[in-house]
Structure 1
Amino acid sequence: MHRRRWAILGVLMLSLLIVVLDNSILNVAIKTIATPAPTGLGATQSEIEWAINSYTLVFAGLLFTAGLIGDRLGRKKVLLGGLVVFGIGSALAAESGSPGQLITYRAVMALGAAFVMPATLAVLMNVFERSEQPKAIGIWAGGVGLAIAIGPITGGALLDHFWWGSVFLINVPIVLIALALMVWLVPDSRDPKPGRLDPVGVVLSVLGLVLLVYGIIKGGELADFTDAKVLATIIAGVVVLIGFVVYEKRSDHPSLDVTYFRNKVFSAAMAAIALVFFALMGVTFFGVFYTQSVRGYSPLESGLLMLPLAAAQMIFAPRARLLVDRFGNRATTTAGMLLIAATLAAFAGFEADTPIWLLEVVFFLMGTGMAHIMTPTSVVIMQALPREKAGSASALSNTFRQVGGALGIAVLGSVLATSYRNGIEGKLGALPPGLRDTAGESIEATLGIAEKLGPRGQALVTPAYDAFLHAMHVTALWGTGVALIGAVVVAVFLPGRPPAAEAGEREPELISTGD
């Protein structure tokens, strides 16, 4: 047990904070980046989805390898290197001159973040004894909640006073502080028997995911999933991912150890994480356009509206363990999933004049549901594997979280784009053909063209709001369906309440065998 373990946890959370903060900051800036230059970059909806997903996919694709490199070279070295790359990527992203540059520099940031995330949990598992790990993981999960809270507010405040690039530049001073504290406090550790690297597996997994997500986003952009190119790309992505799983099964040094998934409890916990982030990332994506484009809130006000979601996570993530001790993993996580499903269903009833306090209640309940999913599943995953495989377990849970989120943005973003285009197309007849196609891309595109047309464009504003609200309702119901599937998975496979005599003492065994 390390005597400075709580101070070390603080430094790890600071590193984690900027990696998570970056995505939640970007959520508030989406509308600004979609605004034409000089205010933003004039990014289309599909370019915005790529600005989010280029980060997510590189991050997810490299987590396994980053975890292994950390196990092999030493987690401290990898943490420091990851933070430096993340800081450089942030500075470059802030100065992007086009959506294409922003997408590229976000991928550089992800390269750094991929080395930071698994190392934070691996160091945590190394400096805390098993008895203190659940508490430390609870605080660590609460840190994710804190980042989700601070991100939109910080982003909104920056956008109110500075240009859009400031949401990336803010990372640089935080990186410098984290580096200094880490050199001073964090001990180095490594796996005595590290795995061998798996470059073929990494290439196959990233290529498969990029093809799959590209096909889904392209289908939404065209509002046509039967298009030959769209279908070919999606099928190619699925085939490459199947090839990845087959290759990993046969490899003697896989980056994804398929044998972990023979443990039903482990698999169910992974599925829960992927499904909850699928639903939530999709909702956050359309939620920003709802609060800013339809309701007319500024980026800062929009960020403040997200506070209840984060507050609930900060309140309940460290305490979720108490419910698990009392009711078991199954009941706690299933209840969390059902709560998420209910909050997503609520979005399907929101209109342009829905009282804003209702949105706040829904966000608070959503954060409550998340806290009661993330903490129990993180503990199940981390304790299902031996301590020396901490990097691998951390990488797996984060990979599933990121892939779930990327697919959520791609699928639900495409549902939103398709529904919106179908709803607005009939109202764009008066526009020239070239403009008509652009105006159908997103609510921001329609409102931007309406503004340029002056009084003539006013007739487009109300149809744009109506088409967006309908598209949001459809998308929210898709998200609800996904969350309900997650509830069924965890209700069937996660362990229930441990027998009284075994509670606490026999927990590692309980987690690996079920009840």
Structure 2
Amino acid sequence: MNHTAAAEATEEAQGAIPPSKAAGLRGHPWLTLLTVAVGVMMVALDGTIVAIANPVIAHDLGASLADMQWVTNGYLLALAVFLITAGKIGDRFGHRNTFLIGAVGFAAASAAIGFAGSIQLIIVFRVLQGLFGALLQPAALGLLRGAFPAEKLNMAIGIWGGVIGASTAAGPIVGGLLVEHVSWESVFFINIPVGLIALALGLWILRDARSEKAAKSFDVPGIVLLSGAMFLLVWGIIKAPAWGWGDARTLVFLIGAVVAGAAFAVWQTRAAEPLIPLGLFRSVPLSAGALLMVLMAFSFFGAIFFVTFYLQNVRGMSPVDSGVHLLPMTAMMIVGSPIAGVVMARIGPRIPIVTGMVFSAVAMFGMSTLEAGSGSGVMSLWFVLMGLGLSPVMVGATEVIVGNAPLELSGVAGGLQQAAMQVGGSLGTAVLGALMAARIDNVLPGKWAAAQLPPVSGEQYEAVKQAVQVGVAPVQPGTPATVAQTITQVSHDAFMNGMSLAFLTSAVVAVAAAGLGLLTKRGSTDAGPAVHI
């Protein structure tokens, strides 16, 4: 075999054939990016659009709060538990087929939710949505890893991140308009045409990205142990705010997660073809990127969770208005992600990641100073800074994780990136929620008494505290206007105290993540994977 033929064979094995050498448009890098962006757009849109529909679903179907929690938690659990295994499926059977199955399955599950007549069926189909969404996301990153050379991967992931940002931003606005003017079912039906477009483009454009070194069998014990560990961890985190962090049930789940995780690590050293070869973590940049993703998600998703309560319950905005007020942040993510990709292609990810986390920390600190009557201009300033800060971090950490993994583990690396984000977001929401609740419990009685409001105790106080924790003033019907105004002021002051502590904690976590960013670097070129196993 001559040198040119050998080079072409190497490129084919690594999934990096230039578009001119591909059959027609199949495998074209930028068209591959367009195709996977359409598919992942469904999952990103679904992440925020469904939240708007939840209150209407609960009303129409007579669902309880516990039922509605399962609508969200069932999806998140399925997604988090299955992500890394889904990535392995892509590595084994090809990311193209995995992506297509994920796109069709996600759209079909969405249609089934729209036609479901009971909350129980909705929960079942939401779990299926999570499973198919888990197939989609690592496969998308695996396809990008195979289609683009290392020096252009940052740019591709930057554009991919911009699409996710745009979809996330559109969710509350589109969801609000659909629920208000059509029906809650239309929130799910919108995924059907998107899924069909992703399927058509996928069949036409996508070329399989699979390395000859990929494992030929499945590590079934490893899948069971890792799935069990992820389930125990995420479920323990989700339930901790309700049960209490020191409650025996919480500890059983968290300790069980540690035990299952340790058993998984031991098994990986003995398995013939392990699910996640532990040698993957010999790459310091990859390990730093995964931990960075956890900290970033903890800081961002944990803190931003409370912003919606602030905008809707404290500021009195509608869901659509609150979505519009978040546009400065999401717009900066849409614009900033592709720009971050271009910059990283030139100078590498380290400086943009560190700078981005510093910007995010400043934004979090600024948001800790917000008051109940803060103007939109002040809010927009911090939202803009946060969007600019998060863009290079999400793009850079994703490229560091996926780019520093060999092609035969690109799906696992994509699953690891998404799993890190899910765990970090769940942990941030739970921990910051616990801190916020403790802060409100500490300041509310004093503020209530200082305002000379009628004393409350026992079950009454618990109901008041629960309302204040989401920014709602517990004003009973028939309460005199002056007393209602005082209750509202005290409740909002207590809520703002708790939110301030949550954002200050997020700022500290962001600073720690900035330090971790110093350990990151770009993945190696296609010719030589960064990690040798």
TM-score w.r.t. length of structure 2:
0.82
Number of paired residues?
498
Q: Does 1:487 align with 2:511?
A: no
Report the equivalent of 2:396: 376
1:175-324 to structure 2, matched below 5 A, reads 175-195=195-215, 196-222=217-243, 224-324=244-344
Q: How much has 1:13 moved relative to structure 2?
A: 0.5
Q: Matched residue of 1:187: which SS?
A: coil
2:123 & 2:295 partners in 1: Cα distance? Answer: 25
Q: How much has 1:482 moved relative to structure 2?
A: 1.5
Q: How much has 1:423 moved relative to structure 2?
A: 4.8
Report the equivalent of 1:9: 33
Given the alignment, which residue of 41, 45, 59 partners 1:37?
Answer: 59
Report the equivalent of 1:441: 466
Q: Structure 1 residues 509, 211: CA separation in 2 closer, same or farther (over 3 Å shift)? A: same
Report the equivalent of 2:380: 360
Q: Matched residue of 1:150: which SS?
A: helix
Report the equivalent of 1:24: 48
Given the alignment, which residue of 45, 54, 78 partners 2:98?
Answer: 78
Given the alignment, which residue of 330, 333, 340 partners 2:360?
Answer: 340
Report the equivalent of 2:14: none
Q: Deviations over 1:243-275 (max 9, x none)?
A: 333333332322222211111111111111121
1:310 & 1:189 partners in 2: Cα distance? Answer: 31
1:431 & 1:260 partners in 2: Cα distance? Answer: 57
Q: How much has 1:303 moved relative to structure 2?
A: 1.0
After superposing the two structures, state which structure 1 stretch, 60-69 or 122-131, moved more: 122-131
2:328 & 2:207 partners in 1: Cα distance? Answer: 36
1:280 & 1:424 partners in 2: Cα distance? Answer: 26
Q: Does 1:476 align with 2:503?
A: yes
After superposing the two structures, state which structure 1 stretch, 456-465 or 316-325, moved more: 456-465
After superposing the two structures, state which structure 1 stretch, 126-135 or 253-262, moved more: 126-135
Q: Does 1:174 align with 2:194?
A: yes
Q: Deviations over 1:307-347 (max 9, x none)?
A: 12222122221222444366543222111111111111122
Report the equivalent of 1:500: none
TM-score w.r.t. length of structure 1:
0.85
2:41 & 2:162 partners in 1: Cα distance? Answer: 10
1:155-174 to structure 2, matched below 5 A, reads 155-174=175-194
2:348 & 2:236 partners in 1: Cα distance? Answer: 40
1:90 & 1:463 partners in 2: Cα distance? Answer: 42
Given the alignment, which residue of 72, 75, 81 partners 1:55?
Answer: 75
After superposing the two structures, state which structure 1 stretch, 389-398 or 262-271, moved more: 389-398
Q: Deviations over 1:327-375 (max 9, x none)?
A: 5432221111111111111221111101111111211111111111122
Contact preservation (8 Å) 2:155, 2:344: no
Q: Deviations over 1:372-395 (max 9, x none)?
A: 112222232232223333222222
Contact preservation (8 Å) 1:278, 1:408: yes
Q: Deviations over 1:395-444 (max 9, x none)?
A: 22222122222222222233334444555578598679556544533448
Structure 1 stretches lacking a partner, 5+ long: 497-503
Q: Deviations over 1:200-223 (max 9, x none)?
A: 33333333333334334434225x
Contact preservation (8 Å) 1:208, 1:237: yes
2:255 & 2:372 partners in 1: Cα distance? Answer: 38
After superposing the two structures, state which structure 1 stretch, 438-447 or 82-91, moved more: 438-447
Q: Deviations over 1:161-202 (max 9, x none)?
A: 345454333223322232233233323443334323233333
Q: Structure 1 residues 417, 335: CA separation in 2 closer, same or farther (over 3 Å shift)? A: same
The CA RMSD over aligned residues, in Å, is 3.4
Letter in 2 for 1:368: L
Q: How much has 1:102 moved relative to structure 2?
A: 5.2
Contact preservation (8 Å) 2:154, 2:342: no
Q: Matched residue of 2:59: which SS?
A: coil
Contact preservation (8 Å) 2:398, 2:417: yes
Letter in 2 for 1:307: L
Report the equivalent of 1:499: none
Letter in 2 for 1:278: F
Report the equivalent of 1:464: 491
Given the alignment, which residue of 405, 412, 426 partners 1:406?
Answer: 426
Q: How much has 1:293 moved relative to structure 2?
A: 0.7
Q: Deviations over 1:262-293 (max 9, x none)?
A: 11111111111121111111122111111111
Report the equivalent of 1:416: 436
Q: Matched residue of 1:317: which SS?
A: helix
Letter in 2 for 1:109: Q
Q: Matched residue of 1:319: which SS?
A: helix
2:253 & 2:454 partners in 1: Cα distance? Answer: 32
After superposing the two structures, state which structure 1 stretch, 237-246 or 354-363, moved more: 237-246
Q: How much has 1:144 moved relative to structure 2?
A: 1.8
After superposing the two structures, state which structure 1 stretch, 414-423 or 262-271, moved more: 414-423
Given the alignment, which residue of 153, 158, 161 partners 1:141?
Answer: 161
Q: Does 1:394 align with 2:414?
A: yes
Letter in 1 for 2:241: G
Q: Deviations over 1:99-152 (max 9, x none)?
A: 776554432211010111111122223333445433322222222222222223
Identical amino acids, percent of aligned pairs: 32
2:69 & 2:501 partners in 1: Cα distance? Answer: 19
1:28 & 1:361 partners in 2: Cα distance? Answer: 25
Structure showing greater radius of gyration is 2
